[in-house]
Amino acid sequence: MSSKLMSPEAVVATLEEGMTIGIGGWGSRRKPMSIVRAIARSSLRDLTVVSFAGPDLGLLCAAGKVRRAVYPFASLDSIALEPHFRAARQSGAVEDVPFDEGMFLLGLQAAAWRVPFLPTRVGLGSDLMKLNPLLSTVRSPFTDGTELVAVPAFELDAAICHLNRADERGNASFLGPDLYFDDLFLRAAPTRRFISAERIVPTAALAEEAGTELRLRIARIMVDGVVESPGGAWFTSCVPDYERDEELQKQYAAAARSPEDWAEFYRKHVEVPS
C-alpha cells in the first residue's frame, strides 16, 4: 500500500472554509498542535471546532478562525480555564455550543456509528437543555415511553489527532495512559482523517513498541494522511515522549491579556513553521 505521508501544510490544503473539524487529545494533552498552528497560519475561517478543548481551540479562536465551538470543557489542565477561548466566548466572537462530557462522547459515538443521535438521561433538568440549541428530548418507543435527551451526532468534515508512533500507512499507537477518544474522532469523519506522530516507524516496530494490541487502536483504514512531527503536540504533553512545557503554556495564557501580547506570541511561536 502506498505511503500516506504528508506535511501539515498539505493537510490544511485539503480543508475548506466553514468546515466542522474534530481535534483529538484532551485539554492540554497530546494535541495535534503542529497542524493546529498550520491552520492558524492559513486563510481558513468560520470553522466549527469539536474538541475536548485546550490550546487547540484557544489558539484558533485567538487567530480568528473559529465561528462555533462544540466542547465539554476548555482547559489547559494546570491552568483551569483556557483564556483565549474565554475571551472569544465572552466577547461573542464565537457561537457557544456546550455539552456534558458524557454527552460529548455520545455525539462522537453516534457519528462513528453513522446514526443521527444517541439517547441518554444525562442533562435532564439541567441548564444545558436551555443553553445548547442542538439538544432536544425524545420518548422511548419501548416500555413506558421514558423521556430521554437526544444527543446529535457530531458529523465531522475532518478529524485531526496526534499519536506517539505511526507507520507511513496510517496505523498508529499511543504510549501514554489514555487514547483520549482519538479513535472516535477519526471514525466520526468519513473522509479527511489525519494524524501526526512523534515518529514514523516500520509497522513491525510499531507493534513491538506498543507491546499490546490495546495501544494499537488506530488502523490505516481510519486515516487518510500521516504527518511525521517530532514535538508535534508542543506545548501540550505527549507522554512518555515529553511532558507539557509549563513555562511556554504560561506565556501562551498571558498572551490573552491584550492584542499586542497575542501578536508577539503569534510572531514568535506560530507564524514560523516549526
Q: What is the mean pLDDT of each run of 10 residues along the chain (274 residues)?
A: 91 98 98 98 98 98 98 97 97 96 97 97 91 92 89 97 97 94 98 98 88 84 97 97 98 97 96 76
For residue 211, what pLDDT is reported?
Answer: 76
The pTM of this model reads 0.95
Q: Find all residues with CB under 8 Å of 119, minimum gap 6, and list them.
A: 138, 140, 148, 149, 150, 151
CB 262 within 8 A of CB 62: yes
For residue 122, what pLDDT is reported?
Answer: 92
- Distance (Å, rounded) from C-alpha 35 to C-alpha 22? 12
From the list 93, 70, 74, the residue with the least C-alpha distance to 156 is 70
Domain ranges of the chain: 8-99+154-269, 117-152
For residue 1, what pLDDT is reported?
Answer: 58
Burial of residue 31 (number of CB atoms within 10 Å: 0-12, 13-18, 19+): buried
Q: Using H for helix, E for strand and C for coil, what is the string for 102-140?
A: HHHHHHHHHHHHCCCEEEECCCCCCCHHHHCCCCEEEEC
CB 274 within 8 A of CB 234: yes
Residue 152: what are its φ and ψ, rounded to 5°? -70, 150
Dihedral Cα 14, 36, 159, 105, nearest 10 deg: -160
For residue 33, what pLDDT is reported?
Answer: 98
- Distance (Å, rounded) from C-alpha 262 to C-alpha 256? 6
For residue 274, what pLDDT is reported?
Answer: 63
CATH-assigned architecture of domain 8-99+154-269:
3-Layer(aba) Sandwich (3.40)
For residue 215, what pLDDT is reported?
Answer: 82
For residue 135, what pLDDT is reported?
Answer: 93
For residue 207, what pLDDT is reported?
Answer: 85
For residue 208, what pLDDT is reported?
Answer: 86
